[in-house]
Amino acid sequence: MNLLAAFPDDPGLGWIALGLVGQALFTGRFVVQWLASEWARRSVIPQAFWYLSVAGGVILFIYACARRDPVFMLGQGAGLFVYARNIHLLRRAPGPAHHPAGKGAAAD
């Protein structure tokens, strides 16, 4: 089964809108990390960073498939494993990084 056959050759406005939503989520993770670090006055990576990474990464991966771009697919697909692993580690670990308010651990 050819996964790429499910997507049109020329993605329309809907696909472009989906790609922009994915990019906004993906960019939002940096804004969240920056604001959390400014507030803490030290470098932190809040939980929201990883959840936005997964959400944006999944949407951008789907968009990359629609664009039939193997470089983009590989980049987003590989990143999803890293983001999912970090969420798994956060859920297993007790302490401040697991706090539901989203306070993260220092990124030393």
Residue written as tokens 């922009």?
Answer: 20
Buried b (16+ CB within 10 A) or exposed e, 73-103: beebbebeeebeebeeebeeeeeebeeeeeb
Buried b (16+ CB within 10 A) or exposed e, 34-45: eebbeeeeeebb
Domain spans of the chain, in order of start: 13-95
Q: What is the pLDDT of residue 47?
A: 92
Q: What is the pLDDT of residue 89?
A: 93
Q: What is the pLDDT of residue 93?
A: 80
23-70 pLDDT tens trace:
999 899 999 999 999 999 999 999 999 999 999 999 999 999 988 889
Q: Which pLDDT band, with edges at 50, 70 and 90, does 71 fall under?
A: very high
Q: What is the pLDDT of residue 78?
A: 93
